[in-house]
Structure 1
Amino acid sequence: MASSAGPGDRVVAGARPRLVTRPLLLRFVTVVGSSASFYLLLSVVPAYAQSAPGGGSGTAGLVTGALMLATVAGELMAPWLAARCGYRVMLGAGLLLLGAPALVLTVSQNMAWIVAVCLVRGLGFAFTLVAGGALTASLIPPERRGEGLALIGVMAGVPSLVGLPLGAWLASHTGYGSVCWAAAGIALVSIAAVPGLPGREATAGPPLGIFAGARSGALGRPTAVFAVTAVGAGIVVTFLPLALAPGHSGVVAAALFVQPAAATASRWFAGRRADRRGAAGLVVPGLVASAAGILVVALTGVPVAVVVGAAVFGVGFGITQSATITLMYSRVPASGYGTVSALWNIAYDAGMGIGAVGFGAVAGLTGYPWAFALTALLMLTALVPAWWDRTVTAEGGQP
């Protein structure tokens, strides 16, 4: 493990190196391609499955569950595969697995095929996340790691903001086939950018196992903090439309817009600040802001409070995203980038999934306002590993 007093935790003197290079621009192409392909079909495939013969709400949940299960499984195996194949090969394979199976949906509406497509696309998306994230870290100067990772976050976030509503609109106006072709084409065309990226050299050195990384405090504590904030993200996206009384669709739309918008803006700000003053000091404020936002959202009968709370949560979530990923990359050698990318993305996906499932059970017993309030309290329990990590880092010891 690298010492905690790494480039993500201190200010580096001297002129700042160039951030946007040709390889990073090519990486932008693959980020946009994978993100757009994934989000175009994210809300469309469940509706497609529900409209299939014998389909229903259960089939809609089945395909989404298959997609996320395969994504987490792929994130677990991706570092091991990347150590043997290289990040560039993994990224290209991920884009292929994400794009090509979407074409199968245009020829069959059989549920077995739909689930199989979701499983394969989940694996492909996981490979693009892990291998692509590791490549990104290797392409960014350590002195500008926070800003560079934030910039990649913006490049991935914009397609999600556009892709979700655009996919639904295209499906309703032009049919499911056109969305499938678009999602496939975007991913497959992006493969053309992969040869310009570094290959095996990014994995030089002994690889860091994903379970060893999770057990270490240097990576385990930031991963735990981020996973807890991701719980809130899954809850807001899933249950906010259900928590408000009928007739407040405008409030829901506003809240669901300001939350990712605020997260994108704060992630950029936090990344730039981390390069100048260190990322360790941002984790606790980001966590507190996330919890505070969820607590304000608990006032579901006050429309302004819901929108403000969603915005505050978005700010905190964006700060936590930037701070945790910057810290984690600064604490490993290049051979550990794949493990960091996998852990961080698993925390994201698992946190969102667990949050949605758990919140639904709690809300059934307490009602939505109390469930939001209890979620905020749960999130504050992550202050323990956050403060511990900050204290150890401040002392200059091994986290």
Structure 2
Amino acid sequence: MASSVGPEDRVAEARPRLMTRPLLMRFVTVVGSSASFFLLLSVVPVYAQSAPGGGSDKAGLVTGALMLATVAGELMAPWLAARCGYRVLLGAGLLLLGAPALALTVSRSLACIVTVCLVRGLGFAFTLVAGGALTASLIPPERRGEGLALIGVMAGVPSLVGLPLGAWLALHTGYGPVCWAAALIALVSIAAVPGLPGRDAASGPPLGIFAGARSGALGRPTAVFAVTAVGAGIVVTFLPLAVAPGNTGVVAAALFMQPAAATASRWFAGRRADRRGAAGLMVPGLVASAAGILVVALTGVPVAVVVGAAVFGVGFGIAQSATITLMYSRVPASGYGTVSALWNVAYDAGMGIGAVGFGTVAGLTGYPWAFVLTAFLMLTALVPARWDLTAARKQRAMGREDQAVAEEGQR
């Protein structure tokens, strides 16, 4: 009879404690890494464009370098963690994320900016993979959806504040104070690392990154999320450049609405996934993301820019929650590090490809048509999303059939 109890009944029967001291320490590192990253994410492209010889291609280059290094670091992180442990890797990541930002205060050369982005990308990758694996071990399986949604909120709030705040500070105080703030936030949060647990790896055979990517169970959500992340890279990099000069208020509002909507929708999607499953959320998330980018194409209409950014944020938050919840539910604990690496590779590779590719296309077509083309490109991910939904439904049907056979045998 226990097997027939639904998710909501299990939660009602036993809800293990979610908020623990180690999880609170993890919140500190999440906020520190995320705030440091997002404070400079939209600032550095504009900084590079305003440097001697700058242009839209240079803006895309620095974001592309940041994302490329992040992806490379995420691929290396599981190997490094197996040798030095997740806590050490997390602390090293915070150091590499924070300290190099200070170099931007002494040099405006493109070589320096790109180098800083490369080093910070590695550091951010280490915080994502090492921190993600630690997070998964700190959340009770019975509250996985809620716990992952809460972590998403903790990571989303700094982006909600950091993206517009960074642009505002750079405009009113100059680039130096923003760089100092980004550096100090990351460095100070290192103090919370010793408060994290010492169990750095789960027992059992590890799941390789490439083996996980080749499997449909992980590969399909990874592909869908990567495509939605393309839109995120474009919005944070090119929205300040695509909107007419003088409309800084519109840019700030749009950069606020996008992460705000993503944070809220990720929370609600995570809770819904606990109750009704996450597979059915990928298609709505993808469609909403593409629709938001299509509306943003009206760059000369301030309301459309803000609304489009918000709609994209809603879809992106749903896609975030659906894909990460699905992927963690499909592996044993020994595969958490691989899931963290794959999901973050999809995030950062998508952002990097979006930034570099969009910069090239926009130079040929202009910003509005580049946004339109991006929206239609994103819809191609409906194919793996539908495949995954079909596979999930078949799996559930087989599970119900097996359950019915077992219950019949008990009678």
Could you tell me the TM-score, scaled by structure 1's length?
0.84
Measured in 1, the distance between the counterparts of 2:406 and 2:348 equals 30
C-alpha distance 241-47 of structure 1, shift in aligned 2 (>3 A) = closer
Offset of 1:256 from its aligned partner?
A: 2.9
Measured in 2, the distance between the counterparts of 1:394 and 1:304 equals 57
Show the counterpart of 1:249: 248
Taking the TM superposition and a 5 Å limit, the aligned residue runs for 1:75-224 are: 75-105=74-104, 114-170=113-169, 176-224=175-223
Offset of 1:359 from its aligned partner?
A: 3.2
Show the counterpart of 1:259: 258
Q: Is the 8 A contact 2:8 2:275 kept in 1?
A: no
Q: Is the 8 A contact 1:8 1:326 kept in 2?
A: no
Offset of 1:392 from its aligned partner?
A: 19
Offset of 1:158 from its aligned partner?
A: 1.8
C-alpha distance 53-362 of structure 1, shift in aligned 2 (>3 A) = closer
C-alpha distance 395-355 of structure 1, shift in aligned 2 (>3 A) = farther
Taking the TM superposition and a 5 Å limit, the aligned residue runs for 1:293-332 are: 293-300=292-299, 302-332=301-331
C-alpha distance 248-165 of structure 1, shift in aligned 2 (>3 A) = closer
Secondary structure of 1:202 counterpart: coil
Name whichever of 41-50 and 310-319 sits farther off: 41-50
C-alpha distance 173-308 of structure 1, shift in aligned 2 (>3 A) = closer
Q: Alpha-carbon deviations, 1:71-104, whole Å to 9, x = none?
A: 1110110111112222112111111222233345
Secondary structure of 1:346 counterpart: helix
Measured in 1, the distance between the counterparts of 2:409 and 2:346 equals 25
Measured in 2, the distance between the counterparts of 1:396 and 1:383 equals 39
Q: Is the 8 A contact 1:290 1:312 kept in 2?
A: yes
C-alpha distance 2-241 of structure 1, shift in aligned 2 (>3 A) = farther
Q: Is the 8 A contact 1:82 1:338 kept in 2?
A: no
Q: Alpha-carbon deviations, 1:147-185, whole Å to 9, x = none?
A: 212221221222223234444555566565544443332
Q: Alpha-carbon deviations, 1:44-82, whole Å to 9, x = none?
A: 555666777888877666544433322111011011111
Q: Is the 8 A contact 1:258 1:314 kept in 2?
A: yes
Name whichever of 28-37 and 144-153 sits farther off: 144-153
Measured in 2, the distance between the counterparts of 1:291 and 1:342 equals 25
Measured in 2, the distance between the counterparts of 1:118 and 1:204 equals 35
C-alpha distance 83-171 of structure 1, shift in aligned 2 (>3 A) = same
Measured in 1, the distance between the counterparts of 2:4 and 2:372 equals 34
Q: Is the 8 A contact 1:87 1:203 kept in 2?
A: no
Q: Is the 8 A contact 1:99 1:188 kept in 2?
A: yes
Measured in 2, the distance between the counterparts of 1:29 and 1:76 equals 24
User: Paired residues, what number?
Assistant: 398
Secondary structure of 2:408 counterpart: coil
Offset of 1:224 from its aligned partner?
A: 0.4
Measured in 1, the distance between the counterparts of 2:403 and 2:373 equals 27
Secondary structure of 1:167 counterpart: helix
Measured in 1, the distance between the counterparts of 2:263 and 2:120 equals 25
Q: Alpha-carbon deviations, 1:276-335, whole Å to 9, x = none?
A: 221112111211222222333344555444433322221111101001011111111222
Offset of 1:137 from its aligned partner?
A: 1.2
C-alpha distance 398-260 of structure 1, shift in aligned 2 (>3 A) = farther
Offset of 1:235 from its aligned partner?
A: 2.6
Offset of 1:199 from its aligned partner?
A: 2.7
Offset of 1:2 from its aligned partner?
A: 21
Measured in 1, the distance between the counterparts of 2:46 and 2:409 equals 52
Q: Is the 8 A contact 2:64 2:355 kept in 1?
A: no
Measured in 2, the distance between the counterparts of 1:291 and 1:46 equals 23
Q: Is the 8 A contact 2:93 2:123 kept in 1?
A: yes
Offset of 1:108 from its aligned partner?
A: 6.1
Task: Give unmatched runs, 5+ long, in structure 2.
Answer: 389-401
C-alpha distance 244-380 of structure 1, shift in aligned 2 (>3 A) = same
Measured in 2, the distance between the counterparts of 1:77 and 1:160 equals 25
C-alpha distance 107-391 of structure 1, shift in aligned 2 (>3 A) = farther
Offset of 1:29 from its aligned partner?
A: 0.3
Measured in 2, the distance between the counterparts of 1:188 and 1:80 equals 24
C-alpha distance 300-171 of structure 1, shift in aligned 2 (>3 A) = closer
Q: Alpha-carbon deviations, 1:252-273, whole Å to 9, x = none?
A: 4433322221111101110111
C-alpha distance 169-281 of structure 1, shift in aligned 2 (>3 A) = closer
Q: Is the 8 A contact 2:3 2:403 kept in 1?
A: no
C-alpha distance 7-368 of structure 1, shift in aligned 2 (>3 A) = farther
Q: Is the 8 A contact 2:59 2:237 kept in 1?
A: no
Q: Is the 8 A contact 1:392 1:398 kept in 2?
A: no
Offset of 1:28 from its aligned partner?
A: 0.4
Measured in 1, the distance between the counterparts of 2:139 and 2:330 equals 15
Secondary structure of 1:206 counterpart: coil
C-alpha distance 262-13 of structure 1, shift in aligned 2 (>3 A) = same
Q: Is the 8 A contact 1:157 1:264 kept in 2?
A: yes
C-alpha distance 363-391 of structure 1, shift in aligned 2 (>3 A) = farther
Offset of 1:347 from its aligned partner?
A: 1.0
Measured in 2, the distance between the counterparts of 1:370 and 1:34 equals 34
C-alpha distance 101-291 of structure 1, shift in aligned 2 (>3 A) = closer
Could you tell me the TM-score, scaled by structure 2's length?
0.82
